[in-house]
Amino acid sequence: MADDTTPRAAVALAKTRSPHLVDPATIPGWGVDADRDNDPTYPMRDQSRDVGLTRDWDRPAGQMPDVEILQSIEHVRRPAVVGTSSPPSGVSGMMRRAAFRWSESNWLHWLLLLGADRVNVVEGVVEDLAQARIPNIPAETGIRAQIAFNKRGLAKKTVVTAGIAALAVGLIATRRGRGEGASDNVA
């Protein structure tokens, strides 16, 4: 137990008696979860009767999803609850299915999943265009947040992207120049 004569206890006591303290009852919404009878999450937080995991623990009934769920080969069974909001589909889905044939300890598993995410972005843009919707790619990439909070990172990405684009254009122009010169020599 803390000694009330210590400097730390004196500071804490002074803070609790401060005239600058705000009365929480005057703040709208403050203490909305204080009433345990009116808190829907309280029964889950009440662990006074929870004995923990034992041999007699009953596994909760598993969710029966109506979409394909990809599962790691390291696990024998799925967790009781799984995500069903974005089932695998298209080329990205094929890449994800291929990824889950590999162990999570294999880099190919993660590389395929990363690639599938990028392919899924392109699939989304194509899907938008197919529905006659023009995607707002700058807004979807969070450019406003980049401008507001990470100008240096945005400038770096812009320079790198411009450099890669200039390199690609230069390589294409060089190849075309070689191709035209080779055809001149033949004729």
- Report pLDDT for 187: 47
If we measure between CA atoms, which residue out of 67, 62, 130 comes closest to residue 96? 67
Give the pLDDT of the chain (187 residues) as one tens digit per residue.
445 678 888 877 777 777 777 777 788 888 777 777 777 777 677 777 777 777 777 888 889 999 999 999 999 888 889 999 999 999 999 999 999 999 999 999 999 999 999 999 999 999 999 999 999 888 888 888 999 999 999 999 999 999 999 999 999 999 888 776 555 555 4
Q: What is the pTM of this model?
A: 0.54
CA distances for 41 relative to 24, 31, 62, 82, 133, angstroms: 22, 14, 21, 21, 41
Q: Distance between CA atoms of 82 and 62, rounded to whole angstroms?
A: 9
- Report pLDDT for 35: 78
- Report pLDDT for 69: 95
- Report pLDDT for 114: 97
If we measure between CA atoms, which residue out of 45, 12, 36 comes closest to residue 3? 12
